[in-house]
Amino acid sequence: MIAIVDYGMGNLRSVAKGFLKVGVEAVVTSRPEDIDNSDGVVLPGVGAFRDCMANLDGLSLATTVVRCIEKGKPFLGICLGLQLLFTESEEFGHCNGLNVFDGKVVRFPSNDLKVPHMGWNQVTPTRHTPLFDDIEGEQYFYFVHSFYVAPRDESIVAATTQYGIAFTSMVARDNVFAMQFHPEKSQKLGLRILKNFAAFVKKG
């Protein structure tokens, strides 16, 4: 069973429906014991970084998520679920994250491009990960965000995207995968990523 972490914000049902479309059981839950007992964990997210961290802490889910990651449980972060993995965010002032990865969440620089970055954009893999199985080359996925992650350890970067600058659009290390784009909104290729994550979970 895959647990989708419910902290009162985000597009949880659409993520669950995405897994359902590829024949995978995924349960939306805010119960730490459900997450601890799951085979894999998904942390989706939309909204403000500070609010999400406050909700995770208030429901005792922040420590649960970190504990599962440290135990080696397969983990998938989506959009804000990627950003929350980092040390800190500058959104609405400084706010600490889960500190799974060292780095900051920063706003896109001022230029002629609209912020938020919204719509389809090309994702360029920098190395292969199991989530890109059967996905060839550079492909388009759906984004909605005003901030992006700046990892201090470049070895975790799995894909980049251009939007005025080249930014990290996916990271991967061991059991942890996280992406800035929304696979559940990215049609066939997005569903392929969810299916690949479920296959990774099944391998144990």
The two structure tokens encoding residue 121: 């954009």
Using N-to-C axis directions, what is the helix angle for 12-21 and 187-203, rounded to 10°? 80
DSSP 3-state of 195: helix
User: 4: which strand partners?
Assistant: 28, 42
Catalytic site residue from 68, 79, 91, 145: 79
Catalytic site residue from 52, 117, 145, 184: 184
- Cα separation, 11 vs 14, in Å, equals 6
Query: Is 182 one of the catalytic residues?
Result: yes
Please tell me what DSSP assigns to residue 79: T
Query: Is 88 one of the catalytic residues?
Result: no
Query: Is 52 one of the catalytic residues?
Result: no
- Cα separation, 128 vs 73, in Å, equals 20
Asked if residues 105 and 83 have their Cβ atoms less than 8 Å apart, the reply is yes
Catalytically annotated residues: 79, 182, 184
